[in-house]
Structure 1
Amino acid sequence: MKSRRNEFISFDRVTSQDPDDRTAAIRQGCRGGEVTFASLGACVLTLRSHRCRYLRTAAALASGVLVLPAAGLAADLPLKARAAKTVYDWTGFYVGGHVGYGDAGFGPGTNPLPEQGALLPHSATGFSGGYQLGYNRQLANGVVLGIEADSTFTAPTDGPALARSPAPFNTTIDYVGTVRGRVGYAFDRFMPYVTGGVAWGHTHINVNDTDGVTPLFPVGHYQAGWTAGLGLEYAVSGNWTAKAEYEYVDLSRKSYDLSGFGLGSVNVDPRIHLFKLGLNYQFGDTPWMPAVGKPKLPESDDWNVHAQTTLLPQGYGPIHSPYASPQSLPGRGQFQATWTTTAFLGARLWDGGEIYFDPELAQGFGLNGTLGLAGFSNGEAQKAGAPFPKIRAQRYYLKQTFGLGGEQEAVEDGPNQLAGKHDVDRVTLIVGRFAVGDFFDGNSYAKDPRADFMNWAMWSSAAYDFPADLPGYTRGGVVELNRKDWAIRAGLFQVPSAPNSDLLTFKTGGSVVEFEERHTLLEQPGKLRIGVFANSGNTANYREVVDLAAANPALDINTITTADQRTRLKYGFYVNLEQQIVNDVGLFARASWNDGQNQILSFTDIDRSLSGGLSIKGSHWGRPDDTVGIGGAINALSSAHRDFLAAGGTGLLIGDGQLNYRTERILEAYYAYSVIKGVTLTGDYQLITNPAYNADRGPVSIFSGRLHAEF
């Protein structure tokens, strides 16, 4: 968002009563300016000259013109306009989002499920967030009347907290919706208000396994009630307002009959406290005509807001499946879908200092719960895993750029990027929570499953077991030295406490160093990235586990695997090339390798991977915003990893109970069709031969759609 300012003009005195004389005098004083008059009780001045020195006045903030006194006034009165105060108008439609934190009680004996609190302690709601829309009408006396509807969603379960308090069942709230009236009073850009109305929500009970933690039978109900609260909203800049709000929600009591599980009847009586921080974008009185180019306040380039939403359904038909385990792709075929919505918030703190925060809602499921393929077919699936949206604070990090002087380059406004300029030669330091792929292993043609290739082995160097929690993020630090033709960057990160764990720890850690070279080949730009990585994590050794299982055939190999876990090292490298061939046509290629001796910790069951393909923009057939992509990947395992799976071991995503080993081979092709600016509809096809490296299974043809919107 760029700052806007208006320039205004004032003249001290014009003594002649003859309009022609006044015009001549003004022209002479402005050395070539042009002024025209019309006298119908007022005179309007228009000036055009880059050589005049203008004085600003707030008298014409919206229109940029100066209204002069009527012709009947004395000619010797000054023509300088008085500054007029601009009063913010709250009338209009708006839409926005919010995040927050809260707590809830469900009544005695209900065992509330602990939800993640992000940087705060877990609670019955944990970190929460959602979206709202509404309408305000400001009256002449300053009273603002409005109506607002919103939905608020809770965080995922805090696994370690749950493990400390096992119970036969747990109760939770999935979401809360409200429709409320608002009554406020406008103090110009400030508006305190009270609010209240109807509410509803969905609660459910998880009946747990004998361990008191693993949910087996979820039972849910909708409940209605009421809500009341208060808040304060402030007009920030442009068409954006910010708000802080407290809301109390009281839902009706619901009796859950758990007698079929030997637990009797449970009364769930929700009482919920929600604290929210939100942003609203103010429209005019017509909601589908936003006041683009006509902000209510001056805009600022010291902060920005962007958002995206992606719906990604996938399905396949029956496949050859002579045997299977829970981690095998089902032979009968399946259809699943994921949906993610992300807000990207950025602010400039000081010279070179920036902060970013990205809350994200995710719901739905990958095929077979994101199990059964090493090169998994949906790059969004690891974030989902719930029938109702769950919210996480996916990114929150500080970024400090130290310029080294010399040539500068422009930075465009975008997600997690504030507009401005910085030195080409610079040092950048990043600390916080993010995805390793935000800063490493980038590629212009295959990097984002929301916009290009969907398969994990296509948008990533798949043998890089990058540190991450379940949705794919970690905490740590990155430092980068950038020059015009090259860059070197390094990172140190937290790793999961065990394979496929959602708990990150610094007791062990992950590191990566990447060198990026930029070149021109036959007058076409390209980049080559080479990275080396090492992770120290709590993992088992494949050879040790296989030998122990052979010596103890009565023991389950996966029980032995857990007992064998201790701090071990995994290391490897990747090479990543992108090269433009001609305008709007580019190729990409990746090769990656890890030592393959110890368990995969974070990403997927791949020890060696090759991938490559082409990306073609639609400018060649008159649709410049469309994209066609076609590519392929070959994934492989180390011999120790193969023997482990063949003996019945399970990895992060795969394990058929036995193994007729072949390399996993993937072909992917897509067409991304631009519906309107910022909205893309994609058709995607993937053919996967030897899924999970097993020649006894498949092949499988996966058909996908994708609806992606961003601003």
Structure 2
Amino acid sequence: MNRNRRSLEHALAGVAFGALALGSQAMAADMPLKAPHLRPAFDWSGFYLGGHVGYGGGSFGPGTNPLPLQGVFFPHSITGLIGGYQAGYNFQLPNNLVLGAEADVSFLSTLDRPRLDHPRLAPAPFNTSFDYIATVRGRVGYAFGTLLPYVTGGVAWARTRVDVNDVDGSLLSERGHAPLGWTAGIGIEYAADAKWSAKVEYGYIDLGARTYGLADVSLPDVAIDPKVHTVKLGLNYRIWDGPGSATSGDYVIKPPTPPASRDWNVHAQTTLISQGYPSFRSPYQGSNSLPGAGRVRETWTVGAFLGWRLWDGGEFYFGPELAQGFGIGGTLGLAGFSNGEAQKGGAEYPRFRAQRYFFRQTFGLGGEQEEVADAANQLPGKRDIDRVTVTVGRFAVGDFFDGNSYAKDPRVDFMNWSMWASAAYDFPADLPGFTRGAVVELNRKDWAVRAGLFQVPSAPNSDVLTFKTGGAVVEFEERHTVFDQPGKLRLGIFANRGNTGNYRNALAISAADPALDINNVMSDIQRQNFKYGFYVNAEQQLMKDVGLFARASWNDGRNQILSFTDIDRSVAAGLSVKGSYWGRPSDTFGLGGAINGLSGGHRDFLAAGGLGLLIGDGRLNYSNERILETYYAYAIDKNFTLTADYQLITNPAYNADRGPVHVFSGRFHGEF
């Protein structure tokens, strides 16, 4: 835990957000005129912050067994896709020469699971990888107005690691080092408007050779000599224009800067959640149990949302994300898990994923129009209320289905999985909760119907999405008013076809031969099976800034859960109140509860020692899992919110022998 905290603090120390507004420049028309010098049409001088994404490759040297990291659109490599942050300063001279300095840090992708699990990739006694790569560089360029080609070079360092594997391929030990080296590169940057600029940059990094001693694990020493090539696309935001001018003369005329475009937008978020619980009653526990001794864990995510309008009605969105940290208990031991930001598995250092990339085409059907606000995954403008929208790409199913104004986003409202989602809907997703597919929506003023078809994981709890099987959902949304107060009702039906095992079949085989492990039996009988069900989702405003929500969901419970969590029946309801009633209109108070249950076959499987996606105590004294959650979100300003959250979870993982568990959380969230 301490190591995770230190790494989190180290990563956070390199990140800054926000923008400073400058006062308008004083006019100097009444000053004595002495051969005035005009500032160039665009001046690059000033401090900036930004982010980047890209792709890298290279080598650690011969015989180093590098781990294959995801390239997604490109081949796997020693870095895979990369993402991170940069900060710097430019100073433009009168002759248009631009001098600057920049520091950046890049984080790497997750493992390329299909490659890692390939039968021809034999397990190695050790593997090498990076945790991060950082540089501090000088930049020299020449400004052609809003275009800046440049060269760059400086020092580089990274944390390299050697993971020693046990005979079964599991991690036995790891050792790391932060070698210092050098970097050089070339790039070109374009100023899109007065504040935003975009760049593309090639870089070469040489970190020098180092020998790792492995004699303590009876392995020969290994020489690591990292050499990396990267190509990065970056966005920078100028937070301060710096000195008044780089030109000479008594005064400067600074012409108006170009306006921002409505055909693209940039948004970002960061969320840090610290969550823990004191020790609770735990007479026994299994491999998937929430530990009885108290725990504290943190999760941290940073994501960007970039949108481009390609043509009238056609839009493309890209949402890269960095995620770090762990859910309490390793995101195990609770069916209604307590942290919606906790992925199934975690990372000590931030890991990069291209979480969203999708194309959206809207076909207006004419008639009345509505205003569309500028927001994440939403470009500003107007659109027909009557319309057909088609979306294709990678996204979260919850981006389009099972929405709710009061309980939907664990970054701003309820954190428990049973509160922000219809928990018995086993929506298709990889480990962080995303899939690839297509959604079609027909929208009218008082109702909408939408349908989606998605990839599902190749097996329960797999990070590999497959085209061989699929999941589908259809949702009808009705909008109404009750005593002039708006409300919505959503009805959804869903079905998944995936590589799963049947609970009753596994129990029958295990009963016939008690020497067999029931989890091995379940793995052996996995084949293409269906899971189907429904959800009902309602929200109703009672009065201004006060609203109720309720959800109910059910699935057939015959076969293993594929993606979400071990819940076959769930009901949840709650209340949300804005702080306008006590003089804090941007604050929010929430109170809600949920009851989760299992099918008969599912509970018998767990009682026989079976393991689910998140739960499995080895035995089971079954009772419904009951959850109470309350939170208060305090708005620091228009961008930042601090939340205190409490959850009482009775019968964790449906086990009346264990618990109750008191979970306390603090959440810091920023939106831009």
Instruction: Judge same fold: TM > 0.5, yes or no.
Output: yes
Residue aligning to 1:52: none
**Contact conserved, 2:331 with 2:345, CA < 8 A, in 1?**
no
Secondary structure at the counterpart of residue 129 of structure 2: strand
Secondary structure at the counterpart of residue 676 of structure 1: coil
**Contact conserved, 1:378 with 1:449, CA < 8 A, in 2?**
yes
Secondary structure at the counterpart of residue 467 of structure 1: coil
Decide which of 136, 139, 155 is 2:109's aligned counterpart: 155
Residue aligning to 1:11: none
Query: Counterparts of 1:216-615 in structure 2 under 5 Å?
Result: 216-285=172-241, 296-382=257-343, 385-615=346-576
Cα distance in 1 for partners of 2:226, 2:258 equals 41
Cα distance in 2 for partners of 1:155, 1:385 equals 13
Residue 558 of structure 1 aligns to which amino acid in structure 2?
Answer: N
Cα distance in 2 for partners of 1:259, 1:552 equals 45
Cα distance in 2 for partners of 1:205, 1:368 equals 26
**Contact conserved, 1:355 with 1:398, CA < 8 A, in 2?**
yes
Cα distance in 2 for partners of 1:555, 1:296 equals 73
Residue 171 of structure 1 aligns to which amino acid in structure 2?
Answer: T
Decide which of 78, 103, 119 is 2:73's aligned counterpart: 119
Residue aligning to 1:94: 48
Cα distance in 2 for partners of 1:295, 1:279 equals 22
Residue aligning to 2:9: none
Q: What is the Cα deviation at residue 67 of structure 1?
A: 9.2
Query: Counterparts of 1:686-697 in structure 2 under 5 Å?
Result: 686-697=647-658
Q: Percent identity?
A: 68
Residue 442 of structure 2 aligns to which amino acid in structure 1?
Answer: L
Secondary structure at the counterpart of residue 620 of structure 2: coil
Question: Could you tell which deviates more after superposition, 223-232 or 512-521?
Answer: 223-232
After TM superposition, what 4+ stretches of structure 1 lie above 6 angstroms from structure 2? 62-68
Cα distance in 1 for partners of 2:25, 2:172 equals 65
**Contact conserved, 1:346 with 1:357, CA < 8 A, in 2?**
yes
Cα distance in 1 for partners of 2:227, 2:409 equals 41
**Contact conserved, 2:623 with 2:655, CA < 8 A, in 1?**
yes
Residue aligning to 2:148: 191
Secondary structure at the counterpart of residue 117 of structure 2: helix
Secondary structure at the counterpart of residue 432 of structure 1: strand
Cα distance in 2 for partners of 1:552, 1:300 equals 69
The 1:67/1:705 distance shift into structure 2, 3 A limit, reads closer
What do residues 488-512 of structure 1 show as CA deviations (whole Å, max 9, x unaligned)?
0000000000000111012110000
Q: What is the Cα deviation at residue 298 of structure 1?
A: 1.9
Cα distance in 2 for partners of 1:319, 1:300 equals 55
Decide which of 639, 644, 647 is 1:678's aligned counterpart: 639
Residue aligning to 1:181: 138
1:202 aligns with 2:202: no
What do residues 282-340 of structure 1 show as CA deviations (whole Å, max 9, x unaligned)?
132459xxxxxx98322100000000000001011111111111210001111100000
Cα distance in 1 for partners of 2:177, 2:101 equals 27
The 1:178/1:295 distance shift into structure 2, 3 A limit, reads farther
Secondary structure at the counterpart of residue 237 of structure 1: coil
Cα distance in 2 for partners of 1:295, 1:641 equals 67
**Contact conserved, 2:317 with 2:377, CA < 8 A, in 1?**
yes
Q: What is the Cα deviation at residue 65 of structure 1?
A: 11
The 1:295/1:480 distance shift into structure 2, 3 A limit, reads farther
The 1:244/1:384 distance shift into structure 2, 3 A limit, reads farther
What do residues 534-562 of structure 1 show as CA deviations (whole Å, max 9, x unaligned)?
00000000000011111111111111110
Report the structure number with the largest CA radius of gyration.
1
Residue 155 of structure 2 aligns to which amino acid in structure 1?
Answer: V
Cα distance in 2 for partners of 1:313, 1:480 equals 37
Cα distance in 2 for partners of 1:582, 1:618 equals 13
Cα distance in 2 for partners of 1:259, 1:700 equals 45
Question: Could you tell which deviates more after superposition, 234-243 or 646-655?
Answer: 234-243
Q: State the structure with bigger RCO (CA 8 A, min sep 6), 1 or 2.
A: 2
**Contact conserved, 1:362 with 1:384, CA < 8 A, in 2?**
no
**Contact conserved, 1:314 with 1:703, CA < 8 A, in 2?**
yes
**Contact conserved, 2:330 with 2:345, CA < 8 A, in 1?**
no
Output the TM-score relative to the length of structure 2: 0.91
Cα distance in 2 for partners of 1:676, 1:262 equals 57
Cα distance in 1 for partners of 2:157, 2:287 equals 36
Cα distance in 2 for partners of 1:91, 1:400 equals 39
Secondary structure at the counterpart of residue 382 of structure 1: coil
Secondary structure at the counterpart of residue 105 of structure 2: strand
**Contact conserved, 1:316 with 1:335, CA < 8 A, in 2?**
yes
How many residues align? The count is 629
Q: What is the Cα deviation at residue 63 of structure 1?
A: 10
Residue 391 of structure 2 aligns to which amino acid in structure 1?
Answer: I
Cα distance in 2 for partners of 1:420, 1:386 equals 39
What do residues 254-294 of structure 1 show as CA deviations (whole Å, max 9, x unaligned)?
3222222222321211111111000101132459xxxxxx9
Q: What is the Cα deviation at residue 225 of structure 1?
A: 1.1
Cα distance in 2 for partners of 1:171, 1:542 equals 40
**Contact conserved, 1:363 with 1:384, CA < 8 A, in 2?**
no
What do residues 650-681 of structure 1 show as CA deviations (whole Å, max 9, x unaligned)?
00000000000000000000000001111000
Cα distance in 2 for partners of 1:419, 1:666 equals 39
Secondary structure at the counterpart of residue 135 of structure 2: strand
Q: What is the Cα deviation at residue 211 of structure 1?
A: 3.4
Residue 135 of structure 1 aligns to which amino acid in structure 2?
Answer: Y
Question: Could you tell which deviates more after superposition, 685-694 or 268-277?
Answer: 268-277
**Contact conserved, 1:477 with 1:493, CA < 8 A, in 2?**
yes
Cα distance in 2 for partners of 1:111, 1:230 equals 30
Decide which of 61, 64, 67 is 1:107's aligned counterpart: 61
Cα distance in 1 for partners of 2:114, 2:28 equals 67
Q: What is the Cα deviation at residue 253 of structure 1?
A: 2.4
Residue aligning to 1:663: 624
